Amino acid sequence: MFQRLSVLVVSVWLGLWSASAQGLNGQGGEHANDKAVHETLDHHKASGFGGSTQAMRYHGGPVIPGTTNVYYIWYGTWSSNTATTILTDLATNMGGSPYFNINTTYFNSLNAHVSNSVQYAGSTTDSYSHGTSLSDADIQAVVSSAIAGNRLPKDTNGVYFVLTSADVTASSGFCTQYCGWHTHGTISGSDIKYAFIGNPDRCPTACEAQATGPNGNAGADGMASIIAHELEEAVTDPDLNAWYDTRGYENADKCAWTFGPTYTSNGAKANMHLGSRDYLIQRNWVNSGSGYCALSY
199-223 pLDDT, tens digit each = 999 999 999 999 999 999 999 999 9
Residue-level pLDDT at 272: 98
Give the number of C-alpha atoms closer than 13 A to the C-alpha of residue 165, restricted to the C-beta side.
17
pTM to 2 decimal places: 0.87
Alpha-carbon separation of residue 24 from 10, 16, 21, 224, 271 (angstroms): 14, 15, 7, 31, 35
Residue-level pLDDT at 202: 97
Could you tell me which residues are beta bridge partners of residue 33?
Answer: none
Residue-level pLDDT at 3: 53
Residue-level pLDDT at 52: 79
Residue-level pLDDT at 9: 27
Q: Any residues with CB less than 8 A from the CB of 217 and at least 6 apart, and which?
A: 81, 82, 83, 86
Residue-level pLDDT at 36: 34
Residue-level pLDDT at 75: 98
Collect the ranges in the chain with pLDDT lower than 70. 2-49
